[in-house]
């Protein structure tokens, strides 16, 4: 499979066409960004780690019946995915209060929530990805009510599969962000990446942060903690 035309370059990934019309190639970059791109650094090895971790997680999700755009890992930094149109909604699932939820509701970070909650954010860098409701989704025509139901149920299903996978390796899944897309037949598919860039992952015993908060809050070495996640998930 050869790299074709560059379709899109985002903060952490590049997207290329391939010789197959419905398959795209994703290349993970070494860029780390936070606060809507205000904090930025190149971190050697980050692309490899996120590509491997995302590939492992999508494989585990598929093994548990959760369909996604993921086709296969191609190389250290590259994976093949099914072409989808990304729905511009960032879907956040939270098990434990942290980050923006802790701040918004005045909860102490680490406070367990009585049930998982799902939040929607409008994926728009210029607006700073505002929190939105299903009514905003409807008025902005971001997705149909049926698609919103598929996204909501899908996000909770991903949580049901991911929580025990991490718990088994002594990691608490605090929260995470998902994106969904529409394939050529209009089916809603889980897409994008699932990595320590997009999840909060704490060591269950020590509560050490093993995710991008290490970069956001200058708490230590990003590649060290991402390597811990990769090896606990059984990767190399």
Contacting positions for ligand C5P (CB under 6 A): 90, 92, 98-101, 129, 175-177, 198-200, 212
Tokens 């780690």 correspond to 49
The sign of the torsion formed by the CA atoms of 191, 117, 212, 66 equals negative
Q: Which two tokens stand for residue 166?
A: 């991490």
Output the smallest distance, CB 200 to ligand C5P, in A: 4
Element (H, E) at 74: none
Output the smallest distance, CB 17 to ligand C5P, in A: 25
Output the smallest distance, CB 77 to ligand C5P, in A: 19
Element (H, E) at 68: none
Output the smallest distance, CB 106 to ligand C5P, in A: 14
Between 100 and 163, CB nearer to ligand C5P:
100
Is the separation of the CB atoms in 57 and 162 below 8 Å?
yes
Between 145 and 220, CB nearer to ligand C5P:
220
Q: What is the CA radius of gyration of the chain?
A: 17
Q: Can you tell me whether residue 105 is helix, strand or coil?
A: helix
Between 84 and 92, CB nearer to ligand C5P:
92
Output the smallest distance, CB 121 to ligand C5P, in A: 7
Between 48 and 92, CB nearer to ligand C5P:
92
Between 27 and 119, CB nearer to ligand C5P:
119
Q: Which residue is nearest to ligand C5P (CB)?
A: 99
How far is 153 from 230, CA to CA, in rounded Å? 27
Is the separation of the CB atoms in 188 and 5 below 8 Å?
no
């Amino acid at each position: 499979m050869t790299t074709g035309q560059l379709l899109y370059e985002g903060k952490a990934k590049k997207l290329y066409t391939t010789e197959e019309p419905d398959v795209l190639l994703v290349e993970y970059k070494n860029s780390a960004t936070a606060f809507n791109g205000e904090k930025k650094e190149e971190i050697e090895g980050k692309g490899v780690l996120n590509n491997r971790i995302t590939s492992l997680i999508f494989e585990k999700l598929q093994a548990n019946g959760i369909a996604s755009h993921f086709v296969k890992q191609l190389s250290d930094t590259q994976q093949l995915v099914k072409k989808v149109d990304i729905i511009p909604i960032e879907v956040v699932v939270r098990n434990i209060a942290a980050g923006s939820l802790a701040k918004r509701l005045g909860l102490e970070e680490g406070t367990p929530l009585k049930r998982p909650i799902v939040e929607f954010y409008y994926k728009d860098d210029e607006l700073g990805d505002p929190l939105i409701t299903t009514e905003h989704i409807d008025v902005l025509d971001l997705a149909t009510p049926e698609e919103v139901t598929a996204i909501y149920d899908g996000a909770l299903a991903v949580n049901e599969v991911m929580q025990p996978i991490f718990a088994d390796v002594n990691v608490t899944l605090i929260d995470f962000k998902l994106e969904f897309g529409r394939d050529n037949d209009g089916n809603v598919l889980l897409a994008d990446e699932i990595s320590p860039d997009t999840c909060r992952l704490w060591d269950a015993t020590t509560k050490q942060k093993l995710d991008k908060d290490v970069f956001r809050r200058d708490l230590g070495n990003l590649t060290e903690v991402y390597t811990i996640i990769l090896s606990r998930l059984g990767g190399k």
